Amino acid sequence: MIRIKLIFFFCVGILFGQTKWSKCNIDNTKLRECLDGEVKKKEWNKWYIAYECESEETKHYYWVANKIISDDATTSPWRLGLSILGTILGTYSANNPGNFEDSSDEIIPLIKERKKYLDSLEEIKPRPFLACALLVGLAAIVYLNIGP
């Protein structure tokens, strides 16, 4: 009887849990990773990546488990079950925080912070054409000073 309840719990959790291939719970649009997929958080010993729906009017944000089954879970059925249970519980607790806020209230500031970081990288991005031109200019100056 306990086994049947556990199997039922796993099946229901997987069906209603948010995954990479599931759709938005509100407007039924596809999900995609926010920015470059580096907006992350750790919950229940698993990494969760921020996803947003592709809706044009309003965006909805979700935490989705990076891996449903952990790498070390394939060694035994017990670990496999615990890994799936951890994914179900972690996804639920990540998307439904204890303070009754939407997960988007947590994700949007992280997206803005990541966007600032990526924009700062754009400013110091190496420019190979400029570096090549500088080397050619230096070589010309050296050649004119040392050369014939």
The mean pLDDT value of the chain amounts to 77
**pTM of the entire predicted model:** 0.64
Q: How would you label 65-76 residue by residue, b for 16+ Cβ within 10 Å and e otherwise?
A: beebebeebeee
For residue 97 the two structure tokens come to 């925080």
Segment 15-25, tens digit of pLDDT: 455 666 677 77
Q: Which residue has the higher pLDDT, 97 or 33?
A: 33
- Tens digit of pLDDT for each residue in 78-111? 887 777 777 777 777 777 766 555 677 888 888 8
Residue 114: closest CA among 58, 37, 55:
37
The pLDDT of residue 99: 56
In angstroms, the CA 63 to CA 105 distance is 12
